[in-house]
């Protein structure tokens, strides 16, 4: 028996189009069309804890805008010394393809002869994804942010040094640093400089708007340094200005509320109009009543002699 489907070419075209689209989607989702990107970085944070972060993405080989996060991938973080791996912890990538591990300020690291901390992040791979690994090495830099005001001169001072195994502090030089002030939606660059002999200072620009309490949050950042990586230091200080909102004029011609005298005049005029209406209506009733009385009186017959 012949199918009735052949009698409906419109439905056949829809089915063919769906099959073609499904096949195209499956081809686009084929992992062979993607290459993986495994980025590993570390940031020493404001509280001196250290953030280890991996960004794991799949990038389309032909369409660079097509990026897919690799999520639920288990990432292992190691501290390495002489090819010996010490596991620091593990973390799984989020829906954005990011895995993070935060190590406390008092974390003990193994360092090489030059004082570098060797770190490694590893994804062991699955049946669909190959193994990925990233290495980096940084020295532990101590960054201090000091905010002082002497004779009304607001000064920002930054000190940077390393500490060896014996506790000896060594000032650093030739380290670029950027200082920002946190704004409502972003951050404002207020100074860029280079640390020399372990110190850098500058005079804080005047008249920065703070929060309602007059506080400013000042952030200094060493960004992607070859030797020390990324370091952030931040403090809040009562250096901001807060302009109280101007007292709004009330009852003026240009405000929503009119002057008082206008309300008084308008009220008198409206009262006069309504009194006139009432007076007119009352007189109409009086006239009507008198007319009714006249019509109800008996008519007198007059005779002419």
Whether 116 and 167 map to the same domain: the answer is no
DSSP letter string over 98-156? Answer: EEEEEE-TT----B-TTSEEEEEEEE---SSS--EEEEEEEE-EEEEEEEEEETTEEEE
For residue 148, what are the domain limits? 141-237
- pLDDT tens for 113-172 read 888 999 999 999 888 889 999 999 999 999 999 999 888 889 999 999 998 877 788 999
**Domain stops at, among 139, 170, 197:** 139
Alpha helices in the chain (DSSP H): 9-28, 260-296
pLDDT of residue 20: 36
In a domain, 12, yes or no: no
Tokens linked to 182: 């946190």
pLDDT in tens, 170-192: 999 999 999 999 876 778 899 99
Q: What one-character-per-residue DSSP string does 252-281 give?
A: -TTSSSPPHHHHHHHHHHHHHHHHHHHHHH
Distance CA 192, CA 220 (A): 9
Q: Give 17-35 pLDDT, tens digit per residue.
A: 433 343 433 334 566 788 8
Are 42 and 88 within one domain?
yes
Give the integer Cα–Cα distance in Å for 294 and 288.
10
Q: What is the mean pLDDT of the chain?
A: 83
Looking at residue 198, what is its pLDDT?
Answer: 94
Residue 261 lies in a domain: no
**What CATH number did the domain enclosing 47 receive?**
2.60.40.10
* Total domains present in the chain: 2
Strand 199-203 vs strand 98-103: parallel, antiparallel, or unpaired? unpaired
Residues 135 and 147 in one domain: no
47 & 67 share domain: yes
95: in domain: yes
Q: Is residue 270 part of a domain?
A: no
C-alpha span between 279 and 276 (Å, rounded): 5
Do the beta carbons of residue 100 and residue 135 sit within 8 Å?
no
Contact indicator for 141, 160 with CB cutoff of 8 Å:
yes
4 within a domain of the structure (yes/no): no
Q: How far apart are CA 98 and CA 57, in angstroms?
A: 9
Q: Which of 139, 174, 197 is the last residue of a domain?
A: 139
pLDDT at 111: 92
The last residue of one of the domains, among 206, 237, 268, is 237
Q: What is the pLDDT of residues 230-275, one digit of tens each?
A: 999 999 998 887 655 556 666 666 666 777 888 888 899 999 999 9
Same domain as 151, residue 126: no
Please indicate, yes or no, whether residues 55 and 107 belong to a single structural domain of this protein: yes
302 in any annotated domain: no
- d(Cα 228, Cα 43) in Å, to the nearest integer? 9
Does 98 map to a domain?
A: yes
Radius of gyration over every alpha carbon of the chain, rounded to an integer in angstroms: 41
Q: For position 26, what pLDDT does the model report?
A: 36
Based on the domain organization, do 128 and 164 belong to the same domain?
no
Can you give the CATH number for the domain in which 195 is found?
A: 2.60.40.1940
Collect all residues with Cβ–Cβ distance below 8 Å to 233 and sequence separation of at least 6. Answer: 46, 143, 144, 145, 158, 219, 220, 221
Is residue 173 in a domain?
yes
The model's pLDDT over 183-220, given as tens digits with 9 standing for 90+, comes to 767 788 999 999 999 999 999 887 777 777 888 899 99
pLDDT at 247: 63
Q: Which pLDDT value is given to residue 81? A: 92
């Amino acid at each position: 028996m012949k199918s009735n489907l052949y009698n409906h070419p419109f439905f056949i075209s829809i089915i063919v189009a769906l099959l073609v689209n499904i096949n195209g989607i499956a081809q686009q989702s084929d992992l062979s069309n993607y290459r993986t990107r495994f980025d590993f970085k570390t940031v020493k944070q404001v509280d001196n804890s250290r953030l280890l972060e991996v960004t794991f993405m799949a990038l389309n080989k032909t369409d660079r805008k097509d990026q897919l996060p690799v999520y639920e991938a288990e990432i292992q973080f190691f501290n390495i010394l002489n090819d010996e791996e010490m596991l620091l912890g593990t973390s799984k990538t989020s829906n954005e393809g990011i895995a993070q591990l935060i190590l406390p300020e008092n974390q003990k690291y193994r360092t090489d002869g030059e004082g570098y901390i060797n770190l490694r992040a590893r994804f062991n791979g699955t049946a669909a994804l190959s193994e990925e690994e990233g290495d980096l090495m940084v020295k532990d830099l101590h960054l201090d942010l000091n905010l002082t005001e002497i004779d009304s001169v607001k000064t920002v001072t930054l000190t940077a040094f390393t500490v060896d195994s014996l506790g000896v502090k060594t000032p650093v030089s030739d380290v670029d640093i950027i200082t920002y002030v946190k704004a409502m939606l972003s951050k404002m660059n207020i100074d860029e400089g280079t640390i020399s002999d372990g110190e850098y200072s500058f005079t804080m620009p005047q008249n920065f708007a703070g929060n309602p309490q007059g506080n400013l949050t000042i952030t200094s950042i060493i960004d992607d340094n070859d030797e020390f990586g990324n370091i952030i230091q931040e403090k809040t200080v009562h250096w901001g200005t807060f302009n109280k909102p101007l007292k709004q004029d009330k009852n003026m011609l240009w405000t929503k509320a009119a002057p008082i005298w206008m309300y008084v005049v308008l009220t008198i005029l409206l009262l006069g109009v309504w009194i006139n209406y009432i007076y007119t209506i009352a007189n109409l009733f009086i006239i009507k009543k008198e007319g009714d009385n006249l019509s109800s009186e008996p008519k007198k017959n007059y005779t002419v002699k």
